[in-house]
C-alpha cells in the first residue's frame, strides 16, 4: 500500500526531525517496488531540516513533467532531500543507488526486476533487442503494466556514475518520452547528463532543480544550529565558510562538537 500523503508542516518546530522511529522504517519497507541492498531508501540524517518549499517544487514538477533531475555536487543535500520527499509522497518507491558497475546493461536492468520473476523473465527476453531505445521503451512498458494499479516513483541516485555507458542516451531519452502514466522518475546527479537536456526542458518534458536552488539559506542554517544546541554566532560564521553546502556545514559543526 502507498504511504499516506502527509501535510507539510509550516510551523518552525516541526521542520526539524530526528527520525529514530521503527515504524518509519517499516513504512519505508512497505513503500518499495523491489528490495535489495541497492534499492533501500536511505535513512535521514539524525538532525535534519525539512525543506518544505523544495518538497513542494519536486511534487509540482513530477505532476507536470513526470521526470525530475536534481543537480548538485557532493554535500549539497540531494539524497537527504529526495529521502524526505519519498517518505511523504503518495507513491510506491523504487530507490536505486547506482554504482559504476551499473554501466553494464544487464546489471542495470536487474534493478527493475529483483523480486518479480514474471517481470524478470520478460526483461530478459527484451534484452535480445538490438535497438536500445526500443529495449528501454519495452522495459518501462512492462514495468508499468506489472505495477499498473499503483503510482510508482523510481529514484536513480548517483546518475552520473552511468553517464559513460554506451546505452545511457537511449535510456535517458526513453525516460523523458515514456508514455506510462503510472511511472515517474527522480534522478540525482552531480553534473548534467551528456546530452542537451535544455531541449527537454523547453518542451516541458523534464523538470530540473539546479544546485543553486539546493543551497541552504542562513535561516535554515540557524534552524540546524538550534537543533544541535550550537552557538549561533560561531555557527553562522561556519555557515559562511560552507557556501551553503549542507554536507560541509554539518561536518564542520559536528567536528567542533567532537563528533567526527
Question: Residue 233 belongs to what H/E stretch?
Answer: helix 232-242
Task: Kindly tell me the number of DSSP H helices and DSSP E strands found in the chain.
Answer: 12, 7
Per-residue pLDDT, averaged over 154-171, amounts to 96
CB contact at 8 A, 176 and 200? yes
Asked if 189 and 158 count as a contact pair (C-beta separation under 8 A), the reply is yes
pLDDT in tens, 101-154: 999 988 898 888 765 666 677 667 766 667 788 888 888 887 888 777 888 999
For residue 145, the model assigns a pLDDT of 81
Say which residue the cell 521503527 belongs to.
Answer: 22
Q: Residue 69 pLDDT > 60, yes or no?
A: yes
Which of 40-44, 77-81, 232-236 has the least mean pLDDT? 40-44
Determine, yes or no, domain membership for 172: yes
Q: What is the largest CA-CA distance in the chain?
A: 62
Instruction: Name the pLDDT band for 208 (thresholds 50, 70, 90).
Output: very high
Percent of the chain predicted with pLDDT > 70: 79
Same domain, 242 and 138: no
108: closest CA among 82, 128, 134, 127?
A: 127
**Cα gap 81→23, rounded to integer Å:** 20
Q: Give the pLDDT band of residue 12 (cuts 50, 70, 90).
A: very low
Contact 180, 144 (CB under 8 A): yes
Q: What is the pLDDT of residue 31?
A: 42
224 and 171, same domain (yes or no)? no
One domain, residues 143 and 127: yes
Specify if 4 maps to a domain.
Answer: no
Asked if 168 and 232 sit in the same domain, the reply is no
Range scoring the smallest mean pLDDT among 28-42, 141-155, 156-170: 28-42
Q: What is the pLDDT of residue 127?
A: 65
Q: Are strands 67-71 and 183-189 parallel, antiparallel or unpaired?
A: parallel
Domain of 239?
218-256
Give the pLDDT mean for 91-107. 92
| pLDDT (0 to 100) of residue 90 | 86
More confident residue, 116 or 18: 116
Residue 21 has pLDDT above 90, yes or no: no
Q: Are residues 118 and 139 in the same domain?
A: yes
Query: Do residues 228 and 253 make contact, with C-beta atoms less than 8 angstroms apart?
Result: yes
Which percentage of the chain shows pLDDT scores above 90? 53
How much of the chain is helix, strand and coil, in % rounded to 5?
50, 10, 35
Same domain, 62 and 81: yes
234 and 198, same structural domain? no
Map grid coordinates 513526470 to a residue: 66
Asked if the structure places residue 116 within a domain, the reply is yes
Q: Is the pLDDT of residue 239 over 50?
A: yes
Average pLDDT, the chain: 82
Residue 22 confidence (pLDDT) above 70: no
For residues 160 and 182, state if they share a domain: yes
Is 3 within a domain? no
Q: What angle do CA 217, 221, 223 make, to 5 degrees?
A: 120
**Span 199-225, average pLDDT:** 95
Angle of helix 232-242 relative to helix 246-256, nearest 10 degrees? Answer: 140
- Tell me whether residue 11 is in a domain: no
Q: Are both 50 and 116 inside the same structural domain?
A: yes
In a domain? residue 119? yes
Q: Is pTM, for the whole model, over 0.85?
A: no
**pLDDT higher than 50, residue 227:** yes
Is 5 a member of any domain?
A: no
CATH of the domain at 129: 3.40.50.300
Q: Apex CA 196: angle with CA 190 and CA 201, to 5°? A: 90
Q: Examine the domain organization and report whether 169 and 225 are in the same domain.
A: no
181 and 234 housed in the same domain: no
Instruction: Read off the DSSP letter of residue 191.
Output: S
Domain count, the chain: 2
Q: Specify the pLDDT at position 119.
A: 67
Question: Are 98 and 202 contained in the same domain?
Answer: yes
Amino acid at each position: 500500500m502507498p504511504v499516506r500523503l502527509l501535510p507539510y508542516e509550516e510551523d518552525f518546530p516541526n521542520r526539524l526531525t530526528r527520525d529514530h522511529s521503527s515504524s518509519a522504517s517499516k513504512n519505508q519497507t512497505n513503500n518499495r517496488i523491489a528490495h535489495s541492498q541497492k534499492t533501500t531508501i536511505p535513512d535521514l540524517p539524525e538532525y535534519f531540516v525539512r525543506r518544505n518549499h523544495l518538497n513542494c517544487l519536486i511534487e509540482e514538477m513530477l505532476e507536470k513533467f513526470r521526470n525530475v533531475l536534481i543537480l548538485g555536487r557532493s554535500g549539497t543535500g540531494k539524497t537527504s532531500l529526495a529521502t524526505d520527499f519519498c517518505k511523504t509522497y503518495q507513491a510506491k518507491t523504487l530507490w536505486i543507488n547506482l554504482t559504476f558497475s551499473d554501466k553494464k546493461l544487464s546489471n542495470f536492468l536487474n534493478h527493475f526486476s529483483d523480486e518479480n520473476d514474471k517481470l524478470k523473465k520478460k526483461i530478459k527476453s527484451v534484452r535480445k533487442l538490438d535497438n536500445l531505445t526500443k529495449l528501454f521503451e519495452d522495459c518501462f512498458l512492462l514495468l508499468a503494466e506489472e505495477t499498473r494499479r499503483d503510482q510508482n516513483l523510481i529514484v536513480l541516485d548517483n546518475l552520473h556514475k552511468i553517464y559513460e555507458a554506451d546505452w545511457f542516451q537511449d535510456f535517458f531519452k526513453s525516460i523523458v518520452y515514456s508514455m506510462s502514466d503510472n511511472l515517474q522518475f527522480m534522478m540525482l546527479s552531480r553534473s548534467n547528463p551528456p546530452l542537451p537536456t535544455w531541449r527537454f526542458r523547453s518542451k516541458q518534458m523534464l523538470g530540473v532543480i539546479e544546485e543553486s536552488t539546493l543551497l541552504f539559506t542562513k535561516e535554515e542554517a540557524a534552524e540546524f544550529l538550534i537543533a544541535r544546541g550550537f552557538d549561533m554566532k560561531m555557527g553562522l560564521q561556519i555557515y559562511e565558510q560552507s557556501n551553503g553546502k549542507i554536507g560541509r556545514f554539518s561536518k564542520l559543526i559536528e567536528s567542533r562538537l567532537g563528533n567526527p
